[in-house]
Amino acid sequence: MQIKKINVSVLSGFIACTLAIKQPVLANETYDIKGESTSWGGSLSLGYDSNFFQESDYRSNRALSFHGSLYLSFWDSYSLYANSGGYRTLQHAEGYYSTDTVIGLSRSSLFTFGESGKVGMSGQFSIPTSEFSQDNHLNTAFRIQTPLSFTLLDIDMTVAPRIRKNFHQYTTSPSGTVNISWGLSLLLVANYSYDDAFFFASALGGTSINYNGRWADGYSYGGSLGAGYKLLENLSISLTFASSGVYTDAAQGTLGSFDIFDEAKATYSLGMTYSF
């Protein structure tokens, strides 16, 4: 259970560091904004992730996390990208843990609309380098998303529907639960810059279907809110607050619960990102 809590904290930090980099969509889907036929780049992020409990509290979880991404842009709007990361827990089961590695291909603009709107598409495979995926015998996963991006009142907005298909060696996990076969989600992102300062917010919600064809009883959701500052041309710092939860429909026999801030699940992350 402690590992699961740390995972939530660190992944929230990874999302925050990714959004902190000023790109049209996400850092792992960087596009050739200079109009060059071929270009490459990437980013390295280091973060300190924690929940809001005191260090003396048994519920306290803290970790150091890092994340790296690379991209290669070619033709007019295509990019190959890869990213991975890991974290070291500082409490309880101290040790190093890696996250899954992602390799994908994206196209930033299938078509455009209005003055700033465009619709893109990306597809990516996951390599099960994390302990969680390996324990559940995940062979790989494939995810497609179609981000719709536009600018409204100087705020860069992105709405990205996603669908993911998992490929496990077994339909059940070692604990006896049925593994997830399909995942459906919607990502909302907002970025705003003022001189060297930047602000960002994100929300992600979705549901899943297991290998028996059963839908999840509720909808999982998460969100982050943060701000950062560009120290140098390629170096920035950020502070992010994040939380997550599960919404259970009243039709399942309970009243719906949607907590914006849940102390037991809320985390914060101090991050530094170097882009190149």
Given a cut of 70, whether residue 260 has pLDDT beyond it is no
CA distance 220 to 208: 9
Given a cut of 50, whether residue 17 has pLDDT beyond it is no
Given a cut of 50, whether residue 152 has pLDDT beyond it is yes
* Mean pLDDT of the residues in the chain: 85
The DSSP bridge partners found for residue 241 are 225, 268
Here the CATH number for the domain that contains residue 246 is 2.40.160.40
Q: How confident is the model at residue 93 (pLDDT cuts 50, 70, 90)?
A: confident
Whether 106 and 79 have beta carbons less than 8 Å apart is answered as yes
Using one digit for the tens of pLDDT, what is the confidence trace for 180-237?
Answer: 999 999 999 999 999 999 999 999 999 999 999 999 988 899 999 999 999 999 999 9
pLDDT, residue 160, reads 97
Higher pLDDT, 226 or 20: 226
Classify residue 35 as exposed, middle or buried by CB count within 10 Å of its CB (0-12, 13-18, 19+). exposed
Using one digit for the tens of pLDDT, what is the confidence trace for 23-56?
Answer: 333 333 333 334 446 799 999 999 999 999 988 8
pLDDT, residue 5, reads 38
CA distance 50 to 62: 4
Tell me which amino acid residue 162 is: R
Using one digit for the tens of pLDDT, what is the confidence trace for 47-86?
Answer: 999 999 988 888 899 999 999 999 999 988 899 999 999 9
Q: How confident is the model at residue 259 (pLDDT cuts 50, 70, 90)?
A: low
Task: Give the three-class secondary structure for 14.
Answer: helix
Task: Quote the number of domains for the chain.
Answer: 1
User: Who's near 121: CB < 8 A, 6+ residues apart?
Assistant: 106, 107, 110, 144, 145, 146, 147
pLDDT, residue 9, reads 38
pLDDT, residue 92, reads 83
* Maximum separation of any 2 CA atoms in the chain, in Å: 56
pLDDT, residue 257, reads 56
Q: Which domain range does residue 234 map to? A: 2-275
